[in-house]
């Protein structure tokens, strides 16, 4: 298993980048509050995936970057967290759909090529 960022480094999805985006969006927050918010967003943006799924979706660019998500929502911290969470769920659903057909394809190939040969060699 590996760690995957739903929105990756190239789109501002790593913790250091999230911190910078939070400072820009919420300069009035205390450093402690900004760090807590950054950690929350990072946790929402991070999932565990198998290596196959991670490599399959690692180059999948999100329609929006983390800084864009933070800029386009109005309101305070909780509104931002709710909005970012919702947008990240859309990214996750898209990645799962992308991986699903690939996993089915690999399963079909395994069953027709490998499993069939293994089953034939048991006799």
**Which domain does 34 fall in, by range?**
2-97
Is 120 domain-assigned?
A: no
Domain count across the chain: 1
Assess if residue 84 is contained within a domain.
yes
Q: Is residue 87 part of a domain?
A: yes
Q: Report yes or no on 106 lying in a domain.
A: no
**103 is a domain residue:** no
Instruction: Report the predicted TM-score, pTM, of the whole model to 2 decimal places.
Output: 0.82
- Residue 111 within a domain: no
Task: Characterise 12 by phi-psi region: left (phi > 0), alpha (psi -120 to 50), beta (else).
Answer: left
Inside any domain, residue 56: yes
Per residue of the chain (123 residues), give pLDDT as tens.
888 999 999 999 999 999 999 999 999 999 999 999 999 999 999 999 888 777 778 777 889 999 999 999 999 999 999 999 999 999 999 988 888 877 777 777 777 778 777 877 655
In a domain, 110, yes or no: no
């Amino acid at each position: 298993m590996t760690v995957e960022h739903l929105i990756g480094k190239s789109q501002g999805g790593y913790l250091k980048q999230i911190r910078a985006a939070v400072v820009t969006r919420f300069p009035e927050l205390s450093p402690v509050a900004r760090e807590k918010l950054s950690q929350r967003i990072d946790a929402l943006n991070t999932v565990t995936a198998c290596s196959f799924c991670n490599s399959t979706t690692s180059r999948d660019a999100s329609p929006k970057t983390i800084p864009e998500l933070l800029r386009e929502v109005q309101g305070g911290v909780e509104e931002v967290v709710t909005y970012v969470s919702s947008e990240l769920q859309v990214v996750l659903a898209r990645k799962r759909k992308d991986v699903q057909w690939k996993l089915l394809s690999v399963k079909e190939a395994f069953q027709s090529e490998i499993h069939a040969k293994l089953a034939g060699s048991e006799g």
